Amino acid sequence: INSKLPNLGTTIFTVIGQLAKEHNAINLSQGFPNFSPDFKLLQLVNKAHLDDFNQYAPMQGVLSLRETISEKTESLYGTFYHPESEVTITAGATEAIFTSIAAFIKPEDEVIVLRPAYDCYEPAIELFGGIVVPIPLIGSSFKVDWDALKKAISPKTRMMIINTPHNPTGTLWSESDMLQLQEVLKDTDIILLSDEVYEHITFDGEQHHSVSKFSDLASRSIICSSFGKTFHVTGWKIGYCVAPKALMQEFHKVHQYNVFSVNHALQIALNEYLQSPEHYLELGNFYQKKRDHFLNAIQGSRFEAVPSAGTYFQLLHYGKITDEKDTDFAERLIKEYQLASIPISVFCGSEYNEKFLRFCFGKTEDILDQAVEILHRI
């Protein structure tokens, strides 16, 4: 086969997931909760099916849901997105990201990606002939290297992708990071794709800074979010994006032909459920308890951690234990200790050699405790 992506293998989440299954391992690798969503939400979905929302939804999504998202975005971040032309319901954030890249990236266009980067960005860029321009985040603080970013911008730069709260590192962009970015992009026409799927999962009183709060960024940005993360329903694959009308019009040209529209009954149910903001405003506290439980319990082990500031991921540094490459160590943990995690070099390029593994703490305490018991033995 004359492959369009000859160097691309299978996503790490499938590879590690299968290995974890084969070895009957405790699975803190792929990010998903091992508990059920709110029963109320499930009842709303049932009701929507019985009320016969079983045929195609409108291409852009159910208008009442888009109105609710518009109100939510304005009340949280102060920017109004018109529900009719600037909000679209997507098949997960993954579709929003893929569709954005498909809509804007032509062969030879450069796309700046900060590494480690979530694994769905780069294959999509390459599929459309774009050139990935990777910029490593700095050391173990994972801060943005602003000088490297300025140097990387060229007349060919069409897009930059950012992600906050950040998967896999659990870091957040501060207000001053956003202002810096605004300054750096000021005289360019670079489109910003802002992956904000963990917008409601921040800890220790820190706020999420959406690019929508910064008008010069918002005017060039497509911002995506995911109900999967916010309501513990990663299997539903439903999310949304907001963008100024001119960008959204181009987005729709692709969206209308790759999915046309998204699960109708879920949209009706999610709109009802979103009427109670506590359903998402409490999420940070909910996951902070899990993070703290996990971090307290690993004390005394040989793993080291800087507490995650957002997402449901915690990086653990294993430099005191071994010199092994993270992919080898992650594999050994599954095979010898029955504990699965994600080696972060897969988000960085194979030359990456820091000693970090990513653990998902979005799990019930019994599972976290079993994982921690193993971590103490290593």
- In the complex, the residues that contact ligand GLN under the rule CB under 6 A are 11, 13, 30-31, 167
d(CA 244, CA 194): 13
Residue from 88, 226, 308, 345 in contact with ligand PMP (CB under 6 A)? 226
The reply to whether omega before 155 is within 30° of 0 (cis) is: no
Q: Pattern of binders to ligand PMP over 230-249, x per CB under 6 A? A: ----x--x-x----------
Between 120 and 374, CB nearer to ligand GLN: 120
Which does residue 267 bind out of ligand GLN, ligand PMP, none, counting CB within 5 to 8 angstroms by kind? none
d(CA 44, CA 267): 10
At 295, which helix (H) or strand (E)? helix 283-298
Q: Does 34 bind ligand PMP (CB under 6 A)?
A: no
d(CA 268, CA 229): 18
Q: Does 316 bind ligand PMP (CB under 6 A)?
A: no
Q: Does 346 bind ligand PMP (CB under 6 A)?
A: no
Structure tokens at 171: 């870091």
Which does residue 370 bind out of ligand PMP, ligand GLN, none, counting CB within 5 to 8 angstroms by kind? none
Between 234 and 370, CB nearer to ligand PMP: 234
Rg of the chain, C-alpha, whole Å: 20
Do β-strands 157-163 and 110-115 pair in parallel, antiparallel, or remain unpaired?
Answer: parallel
Between 33 and 239, CB nearer to ligand PMP: 239
d(CA 225, CA 96): 9
Cα 352 to Cα 101, 138, 177: the distances in Å are: 25, 12, 24
Residue from 12, 93, 222, 371 in contact with ligand PMP (CB under 6 A)? 93
Q: Does 33 bind ligand PMP (CB under 6 A)?
A: no
Q: How far is the CB of 100 from ligand GLN (least distance, A)?
A: 17
Q: Does 267 bind ligand PMP (CB under 6 A)?
A: no
Between 117 and 372, CB nearer to ligand PMP: 117
Q: Pattern of binders to ligand PMP over 95-124, x per CB under 6 A? A: -----------------------x------
> Helix crossing, 63-77 with 264-273: angle to 10°?
40
CB neighbour list of residue 352: distance below 8 Å, 6 or more residues apart: 115, 116, 136, 344, 345
Residue nearest to ligand PMP (CB): 92
CA angle (208 as vertex; 266, 149 as ends), nearest 5: 110
Quickly count: other Cβ atoms within 10 Å of residue 359's Cβ.
28
Interaction site with ligand PMP (CB under 6 A): 31, 92-94, 118, 163, 167, 195, 197, 226, 228, 234, 237, 239
